[in-house]
Amino acid sequence: MKENIQDAMRSIPSMDKMLSMPWVSQYQAEIGRESVKFIISEVLEDQRKKIFKNPSSVFDIEEISFEAEKRLKVRAYRSLRPVVNATGVVLHTNLGRSLLAKEAIDAVCSVAESYSTLEYSPQSGSRGYRNDHVEWLLCRLTGAEAAIVVNNNAGAVILSLAGLVKGKESIISRGELVEIGGSFRIPEIMAFSGTRMVEVGTTNMTHLYDYENALSEETGMILKVHPSNFSLQGFTSSVSREDLAKLAHDQKVIFMEDLGSGMLIETDSSFLKGDFTVKACIEAGVDLVTFSGDKLLGGPQIGVIAGSGELIDKLRKHPLLRALRVDKMTFAAFEATLRLYLKGRTEEIPTFSMLNRDPDDMKRQAVKFKKKLLDLFGKTRLSAVYLDVVLVKDTVGGGSFPGSELPGYAVSLKLPEMGSSGKLSEKLRLLTIPVIAGVSDDKILFHVRTLSEKDEKAILNGFKEMFSLNKEKA
């Protein structure tokens, strides 16, 4: 037994032999010699453990080299990198949600490579406040008296509750006790913020008298929460903002709404109706509205609290605000995005543009892209290629307009010689620029709603990489 283990151990190459492999140098240039040695030593140690478990194991240099290079490849290149979103989900949470407008990208680059006016006022020659860069714009676009921003909408909700109703009761409908995702549950957020939750109504039916009966001397807030990632249909009832605002103001308590995906203007799509803009909520009497910047607004990840000047002045002094504050690059992107709204140039905001795409335009794009793919596959040795332009249902994503479907077009692809759609989907994901596509009826679907011309080039280059053809510059 001992001799078998020793014989098997001798088949494991030494570190020096591994480092002398011709492919190792490129990884040393990326992560350094010591990191390469560390990863290779992990691979060699794993082989030794296998031998102790199974002394009859035999390893050759090719097998160990393959495993070592696979691990080095993972560590040698940036983990956070661009992908192609061919899913038709516009606000794909796992893929980074909104794409920034060109003007916002330029603004980020500008402040990233230079010192900036982040907390400096050239007018007074003294310290300024980072929130000043966006507050006036937010007030103009929403009709709010004041506004502050934090790192995301969850932070906006936590700050508002902790800063205004800690130790007091907050009334909320049972139909709005949602989990947004990533363990963001409204009951837990309320508990963490220090407010005591008072549930009213039922999952599907909540009436004004439910709120009235729950009011007490301990009540500090009536909270309304957008359901975000689900919708209730059928026998349902909820109370209007106007009625809740009147009740709250009569009782001298705060009325706050977590709007989730904050729309600044209505979309043009007839398929996306029913959600209120931030301005409409404030006009209905909501004291504070919290919403995201990286969803329907089409900007960077940010959380906004807009509404009553008196309430927001209290939040400005809360210590949590510093812990949740926003960095200079996010401010730059957000300010630039808001200015596009102010100028009426919303068509330059990718999210807004994709949501409002013309079906005929998408069909023309799909037809052209199908031809490009046909031309490319004609240069391969594939004997069977199935391509078609098909109608699909796209979605908004990001917890916005739950249940909504946007009619769109996709190019469907089947390559029997490459295996199932699952196998081909995996190959696409593992490309230098990963391509994330839809799958249906054992076919890959490239939804064109979320594909730019640059994305199409990346897909074509990806297939050239897959088939070892010469690639074009994306």
Q: What is the structure's pLDDT at 57?
A: 66
What would the pLDDT profile of 171-184 be if each residue is shown by its tens digit? 999 998 887 766 67
Q: What is the structure's pLDDT at 474?
A: 47
Task: Give the C-alpha separation, 392 to 410, whole Å.
Answer: 6
* Amino acid sitting at position 331: F
Q: What is the structure's pLDDT at 261?
A: 84
Q: What is the structure's pLDDT at 178?
A: 83
Q: What's the pTM value of the predicted model, to 2 decimals?
A: 0.89
pLDDT > 70 in the chain, percent: 92
Structural domains present in the chain: 2-76 (no CATH), 84-93+355-466 (3.90.1150.180), 102-348 (3.40.640.10)
Average pLDDT, rounded, for the chain: 91
Which stretches of 227-349 are assigned E, i.e. beta strand? 254-261, 288-292, 303-307
- The answer to whether 229 touches 261, Cβ cutoff 8 Å, is no
- How far is residue 105 from each of residues 140, 152, 185, 333, 353, measured CA to CA in Å? 23, 19, 33, 7, 16
- The answer to whether 251 touches 219, Cβ cutoff 8 Å, is yes
Q: What one-character-per-residue DSSP string does 319-370 give?
A: THHHHTPPPHHHHHHHHHHHHHHHHT-GGGSHHHHHHT--HHHHHHHHHHHH
Q: What is the structure's pLDDT at 291?
A: 95
- Quickly tell me which residue has 């919708």 as its tokens: 231
The pLDDT confidence band at residue 420, using thresholds 50, 70 and 90, is: very high
Largest distance between two CA atoms of the chain = 88
What would the pLDDT profile of 423-469 be if each residue is shown by its tens digit? 999 999 999 899 999 999 999 999 999 999 999 999 999 999 999 88
Higher pLDDT, residue 473 or 407: 407
The pLDDT confidence band at residue 254, using thresholds 50, 70 and 90, is: very high
Tokens for 102?
């060109």
Task: Give the C-alpha separation, 182 to 151, whole Å.
Answer: 16
Per-range mean pLDDT, top range of 58-67, 184-193, 224-233, 463-472: 184-193
Determine which of 2-6, 137-141, 237-241 has the lowest per-residue pLDDT on average. Answer: 2-6
Q: What is the structure's pLDDT at 150?
A: 97
What would the pLDDT profile of 107-134 be if each residue is shown by its tens digit? 999 999 999 999 999 999 999 999 999 9
Count of Cβ atoms closer than 10 Å to residue 271 Cβ: 14
Pairing mode of beta strands 126-127, 146-150: unpaired
Q: What is the structure's pLDDT at 32?
A: 94
Task: Give the C-alpha separation, 402 to 232, whole Å.
Answer: 10
Tokens for 434?
């990963």
What would the pLDDT profile of 206-242 be if each residue is shown by its tens digit? 999 999 999 999 999 999 998 765 666 667 788 999 9
Q: Residue 34 in 3-state DSSP? A: helix
The pLDDT confidence band at residue 310, using thresholds 50, 70 and 90, is: very high
